[in-house]
Chains A and B, each alone.
Chain A
Amino acid sequence: MTNRDVDHDFLALPLQQCQDAALSRARELGAEHADVRVVRLQNSSINLRDARLDGNVTAVDSGLSVRVLVDGCWGFAATGEISATAAARVAERAVTMAKVSAPLVTQRVVLAPEPVHVGNWVSAYDIDPFDVPEADRIGLLAEYSRTMLAHDAVAHTDARVLAVKEQTFYADLAGTRTVQQRVRIEAEFTAVAIDGDTGSFETMTTTAPPVGRGWEYLTGGGQTVGGARAWNWDDELTRLPVLLAEKLHAPSVEAGRYDLVIDPTNLWLTIHESIGHATELDRALGYEANYAGTSFATPDKLGSLQYGTALMNVIGDRTVTHGLSTVGWDDEGVGAQEWDIVKDGVLVGYQLDRSMAAEFELARSNGCAYADSATHTAIQRMPNVSLKANPEGPSLDDLIGGVDDGIYIVGDKSWSIDMQRFNFQFTGQQFHKIKGGKLVGQVKDVAYQATTTDFWGSMTVVGGPSTYLLGGAFNCGKGQPGQVAPVSHGCPAALFENVNVLNSVKEAGR
């Protein structure tokens, strides 16, 4: 939390009036629980192509919603209008929705208790992106693009920056009343190289992760805090075209089994898909069976499932500074926490909301409810899920130095995992061949494929704190109707032995 307060123009909305109107109307109509949220989301998207503006839009999405429990059945309704009149009307519609849905209820919903919270919370950032003139933002992206275009190998560039300011008011019948403001940013720069002789092309994208920071992140400002690094854009944008030129003419990988040193710029996504989603209790129980899928890590395995080697320690948290899932309270009024998910290689925890905590007979939710807008209801979403570094672990150079024949994978690209989080396949941005403990040049067309527990069971070295980076995703999808959520994943570099590597060109039958 910073010394900032929530923006005055959000606090000036009729929040108290909406709270009073919605909650009193819901109580009158028989709701045993009711909560009201007022949300305003500001989004800015700027895209440049070859250092020229391609498209830009600023969007403000605001509204209010009411969620009720009537006879153990949820009802939810929302509107774009923020007023006491609308709040009372929406409360009535939410109760109606609960009654229409009642024929489908076979299990009454009960919520785990939570202490009452009252307060304001603002995420850690220096410069509000929406305070920076658009011309300045476009100008910086053009300058960065020109840095890459200056290299002979670069035929085209794409630049993309998304900035979000999310403001949320929450109040419920128990007396909790919270106001939060979160700022986050994501920037990607991609260079394209074309081989005129063969007609083939390669791309390479920067590895800077999205973070809960302001515009200072794009200028290389801000302080490194733990794994949340201030980013050296000049360095990455200068090196990237050189790496791309090498990749264009790099040999195609020979499919087979390799020892992989996976950089945190790639490993965060593997964590996200194979641990983050697999340990969502709603999935493990089957809530997402029709859409995002379920999980092999079912509740009967809690405390016994050997997820990976004993070197594997994974935490969930909604507290880490600059984390994309970091909050003061979740969207059910539960205070932010940190807890173990995998300890010494064994599954020991899940991500919960209040109804799942009650079903699991736990004293309290660990605060993973989130709704991506006023018009969507809160569902269980991912906290920051991070693999701990080994305090005594090696540096990146030492990690690579210990590999005789392998590949060092940097940056994320394509990803896919099955509906129970078993079988996955990932690619990357850079694949550096390791021979005798040294990097000896890039290969290309690499995809690694494994089953989750086999993969984490092959992790034989976990890098030290110097290799640790807070990566993440800006728009993780889940739920019906579809919702997106931002989430961070911290991790060190790590060594995985004997992993199946495919050649993507051969897979295409070429």
Chain B
Amino acid sequence: MSSQTIPTPQEIVEAGLVAAAGVKDCVVIVTCTAIANVRWARTTLTTNGETFSVSAAVVAIVDVDGGTAAGSVTGQIDSAQDVDRLVEAAIGAARQAGPADDAADLPESLATADWSKAPGLATSDELADVTPALGRIFVEARKDGIEHFGYAEQAVITTYVGTSSGTRARFEGPEGRLELTAKSHGRSRSAWAGRSGRRLSEIDVAGADAELRQGLEWQANRVEIEPGRHTAVLSPSATADLIIDLYWSSMARDAAEGRSVWSKHGGGTRIGDVVGDARITLSSDPSWEGLEAIPFATAVASSAASSVFDNGLPLNPITWIEQGVLRNLISTRATAKESQVPLAVAVDNLRMDVDGGHGSIADVVARVEDGLLITCLWYNRVVDAQTLLLTGLTRDGVYVIRGGKVIGAATNFRFNDSPVDILTRIIDAGDTVPTLAREFGDYFNRAAMPPLVVQGYNFSTVSQAS
């Protein structure tokens, strides 16, 4: 099969819907993924890549004894025959699946003006500006005894959704990312800087490098800090990792069933309860400039967080926590009805605002008398779902603040703390800014968070890692 005969995403959608014309309903989702990346360690290239792939998912919806069933199959498409095979397999899967609890009519038709456009691309050209800049940084680093490690990526994911109810919706999501780690003095010092944005070429490489050098310099002075509860200044990246975990743990169905931190004693959810400081608002909006997220629902399989029957549903701005009050939990049309909560379909971006928070992270540090500045967090895992207790580690820079100034660096620490509990212990915050979550940025890279000053952050034990 030559490349000339491969159907376009739009042709795949139309062919799939025609092939499934005999069943109750059908959804075709085509995802085009283009990625160019380069990775380095020890101040030399390690791997790189340029990839482009097209994947199609067909959700067939059929009438079966006792209700309506759905079957989902995904695969690569090299020809029109591949589309037919995919549809046939999806129909077969649906007929074997049995009635679906989330069965519903597909949403009304949605059309986006860019439907006919080709998928976005990312090629090695995207790296052409970044690699020379990195090369220059490497030259200077070698002179100064600094080793560099890191990763740069430009991805463009273009999604096409077509449904038998008439939806023809397209979204192109460019995602650029740069991460730099620098080590010096026999690797006893280590600093990290991360940036994300729509285009890698728009990221300030030199600015990130300056941040690294500042961190390495701060680490010249080691300060002994015992584990325990200390005031923590969480960078926007560290804040993002904690709040993303909270977001992912906010399923309405789990809460209604009594198995979530958002479950109410005696039944139901905690929607309407005060769960944090009255200055805090947590929200999502697919239209935010710079954090644009896919504005309609896509789901290849159903779960507590998504329903295949919601494909094509427009996504609205949602406030999850409004001035400290829990307003919404993630739901689908089915789980919202079942759990008796407002419909709130997950959006792929997240923003936290703290009323009165102001200034950069440096400004926030200047307002702290005694605390620890945390560059980023790592290996965060849920220890106890009931309290959403997380454990994890600080990484690549814990700085000691005294009298509004960084006076040196401490060891790394393991923490045990809950982002839900932290919502009640915020004593100061800075401006909300776009940030790259160190741990979860691979999966969720559209976040805007403030630096937070948290009282009594639980640094459980020392980590010797450097």
Nearest Cβ on chain B to A359's Cβ, whole angstroms:
11
Q: Contacts of A53 on B, CB cut-off 8 Å?
A: 97-98, 100-101
By a CB distance below 8 angstroms, the chain B residues around A245 are none
Q: In the assembly, what is the distance between CA of A433 and CA of B134, in Å? A: 56
* B301 touching A45, Cβ below 8 Å: yes
Bound CA–CA A431/B172 (angstroms): 49
Most buried by A among B78, B150, B389, B392: B389
What separation, in Å, do the CA atoms of A481 and B6 have in the docked complex? 27
Q: B151 on the interface (CB 8 Å rule)?
A: yes
How far apart sit A510 and B456, CA to CA, in the bound complex (Å)? 13
The reply on A332 being an interface residue by CB < 8 A is no
Q: Bound complex: CA of A480 vs CA of B177, how far in Å?
A: 11
Chain B nearest Cβ from A82, distance in angstroms:
7
A383 to B418, CA, bound (A): 35
Contact status of A290 and B180, CB under 8 A, knowing A54-B302, A86-B3, A97-B124: yes
B379 lies within 8 A of A416 (CB): yes
Residues A422 and B465 in contact, CB atoms below 8 Å apart: yes
The residue that B134 contacts in the complex, of A80, A104, A293, A417, with Cβ under 8 A, is A104
Q: B53 contacts which chain A residues (CB < 8 A)?
A: 63, 78-80, 375
C-beta contact mask, B419-457 vs A, less than 8 Å → 1, else 0? 001000000000000000000001000000000000010
- Please determine whether A508 and B389 come into contact, CB atoms closer than 8 angstroms: yes
CA A91 to CA B462, docked complex, whole Å: 48
Interface size class of A (residues with CB under 8 A): 35 or more
CA distance A252 to B33 in the complex (A): 48
Question: A56-92 interface mask toward B, CB cutoff 8 Å, 1 = contact, 0 = none?
Answer: 1111111101000000011111111111011001000
A85 to B4, CA, bound (A): 10
Inside 8 A of B55's CB, which chain A residues have their CB? 59, 61, 80
The reply on B303 being an interface residue by CB < 8 A is yes
Give A283-298 as 1s and 0s: 1 = Cβ < 8 Å from B's Cβ atoms: 0011111110110100
Q: How far is the CB of A476 from chain B (nearest CB, A)?
A: 13
Distance (whole angstroms) from the CB of B54 to the closest CB of chain A: 6
Whose C-beta in chain B lies nearest to the C-beta of A378? B47
Given A76-B48, A97-B50, A133-B96, decide whether A416 and B464 contact each other with a Cβ distance below 8 A.
no
B112 within 8 A of A: no
Q: In this complex, what residue of B is CB-closest to A59?
A: B74
Across-interface contacts of A447 in B (CB, < 8 A): 383, 391
Chain A residues with Cβ below 8 Å from B187 are: 286, 294
What separation, in Å, do the CA atoms of A285 and B309 have in the docked complex? Answer: 49
Question: In the assembled complex, how far is the CB of residue A84 from the closest CB belonging to chain B, in whole angstroms?
Answer: 9
Complex interface: chain B residues within 8 A of A415 (CB): 381
Cα-based distance from A377 to B395 in the complex (angstroms): 27
Residue contact A85 to B51, C-beta cutoff 8 Å: no
Which residues of the partner chain A approach B54 to less than 8 Å between Cβ atoms?
Answer: 80
Known contacts A60-B75, A415-B381, A507-B416; decide if A287 and B46 are in contact (CB<8 Å): yes
Query: Which residues of A are found within 8 Å of B308, using beta-carbon distances?
Result: 55
Instruction: Decide: A419 and B465 in contact? CB cutoff 8 A.
Output: yes
Against A, the Cβ 8 Å flags (1 = close, 0 = not) of B155-193 are 000000000000000000000000111010001001010
Q: In the complex, A192→B258 CA distance in Å?
A: 9
Complex: A132 Cα to B371 Cα, angstroms: 59
Whether the pair B72, A480 counts as a contact (CB closer than 8 A) is no
Q: Which B residues lie within 8 Å of A414 (CB)?
A: 381-383, 391
Chain B contacts of A310 at CB under 8 A? none
Q: For the complex, what is the distance from the CA of A101 to the CA of B126, rounded to whole Å?
A: 12
**In the complex, what residues of B have CB within 8 A of residue A203's CB?**
259, 385
Binds B, one of A22-30, A194-202, A226-234, A396-404: A194-202
Residues from chain B with a CB closer than 8 A to the CB of A423 are: 393, 414, 461-465
* Given A480-B39, A481-B35, A509-B458: A59 touches B75 (CB 8 Å cut-off): yes
**B360 is an interface residue with CB less than 8 A from chain A:** no
Task: Determine if B48 and A61 form an interchain contact, defined as CB atoms under 8 angstroms apart.
Answer: no
Which residue of chain A has its CB nearest to the CB of B388?
A: A508
Alpha-carbon distance A449/B391, docked complex (angstroms): 11
Q: Are A451 and B257 in contact (CB under 8 A)?
A: no
Report A392-427 residues with CB < 8 Å from chain B CB. 414-423, 425, 427
Instruction: Evaluate contact between B150 and A290: CB separation under 8 angstroms.
Output: yes
A290 contacts across to B, CB distance below 8 A: 39, 41, 149-151, 179-181, 192
Q: A55-B302, A97-B50, A449-B461 in contact; A103/B414 too (CB < 8 A)?
A: no
**How many chain B residues have a CB neighbour from A under 8 Å?**
109
In this assembly, does B386 line the interface, its C-beta being within 8 Å of a C-beta of chain A? yes
- Among A56, A63, A65, A420, point to the contact of B464 (Cβ < 8 A): A420
Instruction: Tell yes or no: B135 within 8 A of A by CB.
Output: yes
Closest to B379 in A: A416
Q: Is B93 an interface residue (CB 8 A)?
A: yes
Chain A residues near B286 (CB-CB < 8 A): none
Whether A315 sits at the interface, judged by CB under 8 Å, is no
In the assembled complex, the Cα of A179 lies from the Cα of B257 at a distance in Å of 48
Are A73 and B3 in touch, CB under 8 angstroms? no
A416 touches B51 (CB 8 A): no
- Chain B residues lying within 8 Å of A133, measured Cβ to Cβ, are 96
A12 partner residues in chain B, CB cutoff 8 A: none
Q: Could you tell me the distance in whole angstroms from the C-beta of A38 to the nearest C-beta in chain B?
A: 12
Does B43 reach chain A (CB closer than 8 Å)? yes
Within 8 A of A (CB), among B369-398: 378-387, 389, 391-393, 395-396
Q: How far is the CB of B35 from chain A (nearest CB, A)?
A: 7
Cα–Cα, bound, A453→B416 (Å): 22
Task: Give the interface centre of A86, A94, A480 by most chain B CB atoms within 10 Å.
Answer: A480
Check if B115 is an interface residue, CB within 8 A of chain A: no
Q: Is B18 an interface residue (CB 8 A)?
A: no
- Does A105 make an interface contact (CB < 8 A)? yes
A376 within 8 A of B: yes
Specify which of B50, B149, B379, B421 is in contact with A76 (CB 8 Å cutoff).
B50
A residues less than 8 Å from B71 (CB atoms): 56, 134
Contact B73 A417 (CB under 8 A): no
Which residues on the A side are within 8 Å of B134 (C-beta)?
Answer: 103-104
> Are A100 and B131 in contact, CB atoms less than 8 angstroms apart?
yes
Contact call B135/A103, Cβ cutoff below 8 A: yes
Q: Taking the nearest CB of chain B, how far is it from the CB of A220, in angstroms? A: 23
Interface membership of A146, Cβ < 8 A? no
CB-defined contacts of A504 to chain B, threshold 8 Å: 383-384, 389, 416
Check if B466 is an interface residue, CB within 8 A of chain A: yes
Given the contacts A80-B76, A103-B135, A419 and B378 also touching, CB distance less than 8 Å: yes
- B192 to chain A: which residues have CB within 8 Å? 290
Is B24 interfacial (CB 8 A cutoff)?
no
* Cross-chain contact B149 with A286 (CB below 8 angstroms): yes
**Inter-chain contact B128/A508, CB cutoff 8 Å:** no
In the assembled complex, how far is the CB of residue A70 from the closest CB belonging to chain B, in whole angstroms? 12
Assembly CA distance A508 to B425 (angstroms) = 13
A58 to B97, CA, bound (A): 12
Inter-chain contact A480/B151, CB cutoff 8 Å: yes
Residues of B within 8 A of A106 (CB): 43-44, 138, 142
B465 pairs with A57, CB closer than 8 A: no
**B1, B49, B187, B458 pick with most chain A CB within 10 angstroms:** B49
Decide yes or no whether A305 CB sits under 8 A from chain B. Answer: no
B42 to chain A, nearest CB (A): 5
Judged by a CB distance under 8 angstroms, whether A3 is at the interface is no
Is B214's CB within 8 Å of the partner chain A? no
Bound Cα distance A89, B148 (Å):
32
Report the separation of the CA atoms of residues A479 and B47 in the bound assembly, to the nearest whole angstrom.
10
Please name 30 pairs of A and B residues whose Cβ atoms are closer than 8 Å in the assembled complex, sorted by A.
Answer: A52-B101, A54-B303, A57-B57, A58-B72, A77-B51, A81-B3, A83-B78, A103-B131, A103-B135, A104-B38, A104-B134, A106-B44, A155-B259, A156-B257, A192-B257, A199-B263, A203-B385, A290-B39, A291-B151, A376-B51, A414-B381, A418-B393, A420-B466, A423-B414, A425-B383, A447-B391, A479-B47, A480-B39, A480-B153, A508-B421
Query: A58-B73, A75-B48 known; 14 other A-B pairs, CB under 8 Å?
Result: A56-B301, A76-B48, A79-B52, A83-B78, A100-B124, A156-B257, A290-B39, A376-B49, A418-B465, A423-B461, A425-B383, A508-B384, A508-B389, A509-B417
Which 6 interchain pairs have the tightest Cβ spacing? A199-B265, A80-B53, A135-B96, A420-B465, A103-B135, A55-B301
